Amino acid sequence: MPTTIASAPGKVILFGEHAVVYGRPAIAAPLSHLRATAVVQDGPWDGLILRAADLGREAPFEGAAADDPFARAVQVVLAAAGRPAPAGVVISLRSAIPIAGGLGSGAAMAAAVIRALANHLGAARLAADDQVSALTYQVERLLHGTPSGIDNTVVSYERPIYFAHAEPHNRVEPLAAGAPLRLLLADTGVRSLTREVVADVRRGWLAQPERFEALFDACGRIVAAARSALEAGDRPALGQLMNDNQSLLADMGVSSPELARLAEVARSAGAFGAKLSGAGRGGHLIALVGPASEAAVRAALQAAGARALLASDMAPAGERPGFRD
């Protein structure tokens, strides 16, 4: 039975979330050891079957709800390839990325399905990074409403990027850290929906355009400074910029008591800096640590009730980023 497998990583937004929806730049990095995987297999199935392996659920593609992101990922590939739904095929999807935790699980699942199905259908052109990114963006629009395009880009190219939304083409530049950077990812345990948080920021911007434009501009300046600090491997400067970005995000109304508390705990225990990552209101806090502070920050975050702690490394140019529990 011919089988095709593809996977895509989760991601963290290091700087510039939300403001990136309004044309300001942002910086994101893949989480290469936290992945979504899609397996496409031919066999004696009736029609095309979508299997969400983690949920133990399977259902035919035909008749899937219009807002089902799994079915939408399949649909965008079929439309781009000009092909009908294949019969006698099952697509199984698994993900190790927490859902609604700000780590890009939706984009990674879509990218994995798109790349696996495109390859399975022999549409190699659609399995190239730029096409996977463009098709994943179409699925993200269903989930988010007005996505900037940063999530689909970082999970499809799987490298740290400086990103700015622009027409007709986004600005995407690969970045390399000047020194190894270790992030701790602490789960608040609170799930939030990106779509809702993004819609709340839009309401704020519509009600107080000057105030929000000023906040977005300040985020843009932080991203410019962070890019230089990242490339220079200057961890104290990066940490301070993370703290500054966090306070702007709190002013936008997208932090939460849990995020604010974990950020304070991480800083007091010696982290260079800490901020929310992604949509906010819940999800994960990211803290930049060094070899001298890592153990103390870990212990403090755990004692403060962080649900799960992961560590992610951004490696200097030429090295693959590492990742561990």
Q: Which residues bind ligand PMV (CB under 6 A)?
A: 13, 17-18, 20-21, 102, 104, 144, 147-148, 150-151, 194, 198, 278-279
Residue-by-residue DSSP string for 186-228 = EE-S----HHHHHHHHHHHHHHSHHHHHHHHHHHHHHHHHHHH
Q: Which is nearer to ligand PMV, 101 or 239 (CB)?
A: 101
Q: At its nearest, how many Å lie between ligand PMV and the CB of residue 4?
A: 27
- The residues, any chain, with a CB within 8 Å of residue 217's CB and separated by 6 or more, are 24
Q: Which is nearer to ligand PMV, 17 or 244 (CB)?
A: 17
Residue 1 in 3-state DSSP?
A: coil
Q: At its nearest, how many Å lie between ligand PMV and the CB of residue 279?
A: 3
The one catalytic residue among 42, 46, 67, 151: 151
Phi, psi of 43 (to 5 degrees): 175, -170
Distance CA 123, CA 125 (A): 5
Beta strand extents in the chain (DSSP E only) = 3-15, 26-42, 48-52, 57-60, 89-95, 161-164, 171-174, 181-187, 273-276, 284-289, 309-314, 323-324
The residue with tokens 């890592």 is: 294
Token readout for 288 is: 């930049």
Distance CA 241, CA 220 (A): 11
Residue in the shown chain whose Cβ atom is closest to ligand PMV: 278
**Run of H or E residues at 242:** helix 235-252
Q: Which is nearer to ligand PMV, 9 or 278 (CB)?
A: 278
Q: Which is nearer to ligand PMV, 110 or 263 (CB)?
A: 110
Q: At its nearest, how many Å lie between ligand PMV and the CB of residue 21?
A: 5
Q: Which is nearer to ligand PMV, 13 or 114 (CB)?
A: 13
Q: Which is nearer to ligand PMV, 109 or 279 (CB)?
A: 279
Whether 151 sits among the annotated catalytic residues: the reply is yes
Q: At its nearest, how many Å lie between ligand PMV and the CB of residue 207?
A: 18
Token readout for 22 is: 């309004």
* Distance set, CA 17 to CA 44, 132, 234 (Å): 45, 22, 21
- Report the chain's terminal Cα–Cα distance, integer Å: 35
Q: At its nearest, how many Å lie between ligand PMV and the CB of residue 186?
A: 15
Q: At its nearest, how many Å lie between ligand PMV and the CB of residue 128?
A: 23
Catalytic residues: 151
